[in-house]
Amino acid sequence: MEVLALDVRLDGFVDPIGALVRDENGSVAFVYKADYLRRSDATALSLSLPLAEEPYRDVIARAFFDNLLQERNGVLTDVLAREGLTRDDIAGLLYHLGKDCAGALSVLPSGSPPTKVPGDYESDYVPIPQDRMIAIVEALHQRKRLPDGTEDPSPLAGVQSKIALTVLPDGRFAEPKRGSGGPTTHILKVPDRDHQQDARYEAEAMRLSGALGFDTAEVSVVPIGGIETLLVTRFDRGRDRQNRIVRLHQEDFAQALGLPVSMKYERRGKAGRRFDVSGIRRILEATVDPAQAKETFIRATIFDLLIGNNDGHAKNFALLYEPGGRIHFAPRYDILPTRLDDTLTDELAYRIGEAETLDEVTPEQLNAFLLALGIESAAARKRMHQRYPSEIALGLADCLGALEKRQVKSLADLIATNMRMLLGAMRLEIPQAARDRDAFIGLAGGWLMS
């Protein structure tokens, strides 16, 4: 195998900030450029790749850069076949796909000019005709190849069918002009034929998240060609002084922990190298306000338990970076009540104490979870145990009637059922609105509760 050197670029910096190198054995290493390290505004790519002069060897470098590639098939499969590459040849794949990495990063052949630049609404985007937009959505809905000439300008993680695009000030969908390097502003998620209601379910879950005070990405359900899609405003976008769209550096928790995408669930790792509460604690303690970040994460965990989102894996939480390296817990995104789908596991993405499912969560397990997150005071843990589940449940209880009116009764019943289970186990009062609702019955006819 030939040695391959790639430039690693970060939006906002004129020159490459580092290099990704593949050796003759196929191992990869990453090193920051010396000039970049001397800058006062130098920002680490990741918590797993702190600013340092020494190169990062294969295990750490591979995990981070592999996370820049999309999880689902499509263009990745095409490049593998066309170029005769193997899936573990991260550098070889990024040689061909690195210009379109998700986020503010790009990985390019050494010496290449930057391919990602700020975007101007007036000059850098082309409106997508309605008939072509319908064709794109139908292809994603049926999980078929996108129409000729359609390129996803920002390959996205996850297994859901989705495409990145831009919404112009007049509301029209658009895509960056070929070669412009302009950022997209939104993600359009398209459910497949077996999950026709997913856009509506996710929209409701995201709206509930915002209503209960979580910083949450904005969403709307948009019917296109008779298919309900979910339009999500990207949280990793901003505006510069010229009102141009710019990318903001972010990373998900898998990247922050140095984990490959295959280990985004706790059950797939091992002690010391997995997405678990001790790892989550390390991430949250690196933010500008660790106490606030921990409180948000604890409340988000309880919220997810109550709405039936068991898919809060390492790629569904993220960090946002300011220039100079200040780190913030990113807004919530990808919140889907997965327990509405009887074909999916009821196992949690990360354990609550030793609890692996909702019905195993007890006061003792919640206490262990809080302690593992670094809540050292027994009095503080007791207050959180009594306060957070009750507050979140009351907020959700106020929304149950409205959910039914919006024709998502199954979600309202699921939330009420989960309230009775969790609050009952916590020995806390169950809101009247939840006590009076039907028990949730899975969409295939099976009971959620045994």
Of the candidates 101, 37, 33, the residue with the CA atom closest to the CA atom of residue 65:
101
Answer yes or no: is pLDDT of 201 > 70: yes
- The mean predicted confidence, pLDDT, of the chain is 91
The CB density around residue 145, as the number of other CB atoms within 10 Å, is 11
- For 260, how many CA atoms within 13 A lie in the half-sphere containing its CB? 14
Question: CATH number for the 264-435 domain, one of 1.10.3210, 1.10.1070, 1.10.150, 2.30.30?
Answer: 1.10.1070
Question: What whole-number distance in Å separates Cα of residue 4 and Cα of residue 22?
Answer: 5
For the question of whether the overall pTM of this predicted structure is more than 0.85, the answer is yes
The H-or-E segment that residue 176 falls in is strand 173-176
Q: Which range has the worst mean pLDDT, 69-78, 96-105, 179-188, 321-330?
A: 69-78
With b meaning 16 or more CB within 10 Å and e meaning fewer, what string describes 233-244? ebbbbeeeeeeb
Quickly list H helices, 67-164.
Answer: 75-83, 90-97, 130-141
8 A C-beta contact, residue 221 and residue 205: no
For 124-164, the pLDDT digits (tens) are 999 999 999 999 999 999 888 777 766 654 445 444 688 99
Q: What span, in angstroms and rounded, lies between the C-alpha atoms of 42 and 38?
A: 8
pLDDT tens column, 50-90 = 999 999 999 999 999 998 887 655 667 778 888 888 889 99
Give the catalytic positions in this structure.
Answer: 311
Give the whole-angstrom CA distance, residue 30 versus residue 32: 7
* 123 has pLDDT over 90: yes
Domain chopping of the chain, boundaries: 4-109, 125-233, 264-435
Amino acid at 249: H
CA 134 from chain centre, in angstroms, equals 26
